[in-house]
Chain A
């Protein structure tokens, strides 16, 4: 036997065939018995759409991307965009460009983008929208489970102290349109504050990546603080409804089944409509020191017959008529089952990798992006 033949050289087909039956089982459940009951319960709770009377709908989305800029450093661009149709189409967009150490950079870019989006939502209130659309889930913004902080749910030292020192130095984190904790001009100063705090808290020098970790948390804090401010403001305004729309969600909060709620709606419902809404509560994690909590209304919808389901969160306690009015208004402006407002802001906010490459290659360093060339990218 040749050596080669003693070594495994598997094809992807072989690998798939070996697990095919089990995969099929997973996709087919719930079992036919449970399935019947579930189907009934979904259909019973499915509510038809009505007329939607809201037309002043504003939508906000963000985008971001990053590229290696030197070994160990990335350049990132984050953006937030706004669209509302009043008598004229109104558009707004804000970019933030920065450089980060590559430790935790992906999550940190994400925090920056979220901060931009939330600040843009805040800004959009000046346009007096009736409905304010946010791309994604408010709940997910706040409650990230294990990803809540770079340390998981239980940070090993009192982060609040660090936040306190940073805010003392900067002032109001929730103001403006860009992320203050990502501001290039404040970069070294914030690093220094975080490092000093850690030194004081732990009584010893900390590793560089540890400083980055704490810094990332400070950046996340800015997003949460701004979000809290937004929610409070929206609740107080009364004539605007904040609605979060997700295309993907693995939440099981509605049916409490093994498969996600959204998948259940996708499989069992064809017609447009929405599920009877349920109430949830949005609470900021304890370690942030933000003590407010807000009521949320949750439902799933199909805006067009046969379209993909959407998860809908509405800030506050919304009764079924209000929910119907909102969702029906969204359906009036939906293209292939998705509110077109969100599509517009998505396109506006996109940060393509081509743009970053162009940026680094032509506008920035004569060295260009690093590392990727070995991969032929």
Chain B
């Protein structure tokens, strides 16, 4: 018998699903692609479930394994049977995939494994240029490519438990994008990509940037968020901040802000807006000082509080808040990946940095598109955000979630794509998540996370969801317009250097122990004595 023949269709098939009885000795695999001989030409399907039994052991009354022993003792091996459920994907017109058939495949129809050439053709984007993400899980001979146009236009979420292979998938996608000359920025919350480099790609460039936020470019609301102040929680502080902010901007434009800073005895660079605000508030507070802004005597305590917050932020975030440092978006270029190392920042600041940068990217792309400047701003650009749930929690109005929502909505028009990465899908805002129409879903164990993802994903069937807990590292369900049809994919292992892989405790300990034992006693005790 031809080795690719698997079985025949059993009764009760429908246009979307059919059972297959396998030939003796054949055990079909879940995820296997098959061709069914339909009435009007071949149909492509995928095996979604397999049930197996043994004819001699099928009796319901064999309730102790001892009976199995006796039977197997006589028979040697029992007569295995398998029955597979096939989900029908569509009709095949030559090599072209068309819609679902309108009649079910006939009972008794022959079912074969889909040939490699056919699958290979299906898993390449229409124009032939794609991102090589990996191989079909059940068909290691078939490469799977993602369509970069659809990826940027319809965005992407990469979801999995920790250690499921999210960061590796990100690295593979970025590598493929850069090889094509693409533009990407990666917000690296835990500094896990800082050692990243791509092998065999001359034009590929990686720049790691410690985030720099120019306070002079921040809006008053962004500043307030940085200072952990909002109108609802601390109305007075917010009002005085807003007054001082306006004043400082005015003075800055007249180039006299530095005078006030000096006068208030604050150490700062010439055009430091935040220092200027601090100076204006300090001077206005002094009994005999010039009252740059009027402070109600009842509000003095609030203003003192505001000043100390500004001091705190300036001293602790001094490294990040560099006036006139320019914008992160300035660093973007073709064939280049910008990694924003956010490992050292607290979450408030991270939110501002990410939100601000995303907004800037979108605005510039918009301006470029409508001819309002920024002609050389590189687009399309993909922005990747790790640990997205920390910055885009459900229902919250963080800077990042506002920015992400606008990119999700408008990014497509201007060539800005967003890729959100998270191990807690249900802690991610559902609106934003459902607008990440493409998804790479690796292992997910928690049922709540699974159903949350299911609700936020239009192409994801219940049955695909059922695979999620059993996936191995790097195995993924990929859905969305960037792939021709939902598929189980083994994501390839990133060939370059990434940095930040899981720590290998056993190796580190045994190496350390070896060092300790091989050191001479003198050295050892000497080092303890230090």
Contact = CB atoms under 8 A, between A and B. Distances in A.
A144 interface: no
Contact of A89 (B61, B67, B70, B74): B74
B74 A88 contact: no
Given A335-B67, A344-B56, 20 more contacts: A85-B73, A85-B74, A88-B76, A89-B74, A89-B75, A89-B76, A332-B70, A333-B70, A333-B74, A334-B70, A335-B62, A335-B70, A335-B71, A336-B61, A336-B62, A340-B71, A340-B74, A341-B74, A344-B74, A344-B75
A213 B70 CA distance: 46
Contacts of A89: 74-76
Interface string B55-80: 01000011000010011011110000
Contacts of A332: 70
10 contacts: A85-B74, A89-B74, A334-B70, A335-B67, A335-B70, A336-B61, A340-B70, A340-B71, A341-B74, A344-B56
A83 B71 CA distance: 13
Contacts, number: 27
B24 to A, nearest CB: 15
- Categorize the interface residue count of chain A: 10 to 19
Interface in A88-109: 88-89
B75 A333 contact: no
Contacts of A336: 61-62, 67
Nearest to B69: A335
Interface in A319-366: 332-336, 340-341, 344
* Consensus secondary structure, chain A interface: mixed
A334 B71 CA distance: 9
Contacts of B75: 85, 89, 344
A336 B73 CA distance: 15
Interface of A: 83, 85, 88-89, 332-336, 340-341, 344
Nearest to B66: A335
A371 to B, nearest CB: 27
B61 to A, nearest CB: 5
Contacts of B70: 332-335, 340
Contacts of B67: 335-336
A335 to B, nearest CB: 5
Contacts of A341: 74
Contacts of A88: 76
A62 to B, nearest CB: 20
A89 B77 CA distance: 10
Most chain B C-beta atoms within 10 Å of own C-beta, residue among A88, A89, A335, A341: A335
A333 B61 contact: no
Nearest to A84: B74
Interface in B57-109: 61-62, 67, 70-71, 73-76
Interface in B184-224: none
A341 B73 CA distance: 11
Contacts of A333: 70, 73-74
Nearest to A57: B74
B336 to A, nearest CB: 69
A88 B56 CA distance: 17
A88 B75 CA distance: 8
Nearest to B68: A335
Contacts of B56: 344
Contacts of B76: 88-89
A310 B75 CA distance: 23
A88 B73 CA distance: 10
Interface in B476-516: none
A332 B75 CA distance: 15
Contacts of B61: 336
A264 B56 CA distance: 32
Contacts of A85: 73-75
A249 to B, nearest CB: 22
A161 B115 CA distance: 72
B296 to A, nearest CB: 94
Contacts of B71: 335, 340
Contacts of A340: 70-71, 74
A138 to B, nearest CB: 24
B42 to A, nearest CB: 27
Contacts of B62: 335-336
Enumerate the 10 nearest inter-chain pairs by beta-carbon distance, A residue then B residue, closest first.
A85-B74, A335-B67, A336-B61, A335-B70, A89-B76, A89-B75, A333-B70, A340-B74, A340-B71, A340-B70
A334 B74 CA distance: 11
A336 B64 CA distance: 10
Contacts of A83: 74
B238 to A, nearest CB: 82
B81 to A, nearest CB: 14
A33 to B, nearest CB: 37
A334 B64 CA distance: 13
Nearest to A88: B76
Nearest to A332: B70
A88 B77 CA distance: 11
Nearest to B67: A335
A123 B74 CA distance: 20
B10 to A, nearest CB: 16
A85 B71 CA distance: 11
A132 to B, nearest CB: 16
Nearest to A331: B70
A85 B72 CA distance: 11
Nearest to A334: B70
A334 B69 CA distance: 11
A89 B75 CA distance: 6
A336 B66 CA distance: 10
A334 B75 CA distance: 13
B68 to A, nearest CB: 9
Interface string B283-303: 000000000000000000000
Most chain A C-beta atoms within 10 Å of own C-beta, residue among B56, B61, B73, B74: B74
A209 to B, nearest CB: 43
Contacts of B73: 85, 333
A18 to B, nearest CB: 36
A111 B70 CA distance: 33
A333 B74 CA distance: 8
A333 B72 CA distance: 10
A333 B70 CA distance: 6
B108 to A, nearest CB: 13
A89 B56 CA distance: 14
A244 B55 CA distance: 27
A336 B71 CA distance: 11
B53 to A, nearest CB: 15
A185 B119 CA distance: 57
Nearest to B55: A347
B488 to A, nearest CB: 39
A272 to B, nearest CB: 14
A369 to B, nearest CB: 22
A352 to B, nearest CB: 15
Nearest to A85: B74
A335 B70 CA distance: 7
A344 B78 CA distance: 11
B73 to A, nearest CB: 7
B291 to A, nearest CB: 101
Nearest to A83: B74
Nearest to B76: A89
A85 B73 CA distance: 9
A333 B71 CA distance: 8
A334 B73 CA distance: 11
